[in-house]
Structure 1
Amino acid sequence: CQRHQESAILAVPVNDTLKKEGENGTIACTVSRDGLWAAQTPQCFPVGELTRAMNEAGSAVTDEASAMEFVGKHPALVE
């Protein structure tokens, strides 16, 4: 975290083939996995910034990183 201005998460590149669901449970398309990462834990943020972001984002987020993204931050990905 210190190398990334104290804002980073562990993540792994997505290797699975991803499908987007269409109508009636059929495949609409295959999603390119280029540039996609699966978020892992731990996720590291300054506690004050994270608390403010979580309060502002409310239920609109799925993890700490998405709360930080909600308030305009761009956490680093660490493989």
Structure 2
Amino acid sequence: MTNPAPIDDISIGGEMIRLGQFLKFAGLLDSGGNVKEAIIEGHVFVNGEVDLRRGRQLQLGDIVSFEGRRVRVCS
């Protein structure tokens, strides 16, 4: 059994952010095209479940995972 990756806290300076924006803001992906492709292909997880919606509103405390890295939305 492998240990999950540590969770990095990423401050967004507000209450909510869209998933696509957050992936770029957190440095998980570097362009909108890469974000779109990763989400459509099912490589992005929110709170442990695949999410295919780039426009999903993330709330404080949500955990986003991509390629073994986990980041938490913080204020």
**TM-score, scaled to structure 1:** 0.29
Greater fraction helix: 1
TM-score (norm 2): 0.30
Larger Rg: 1
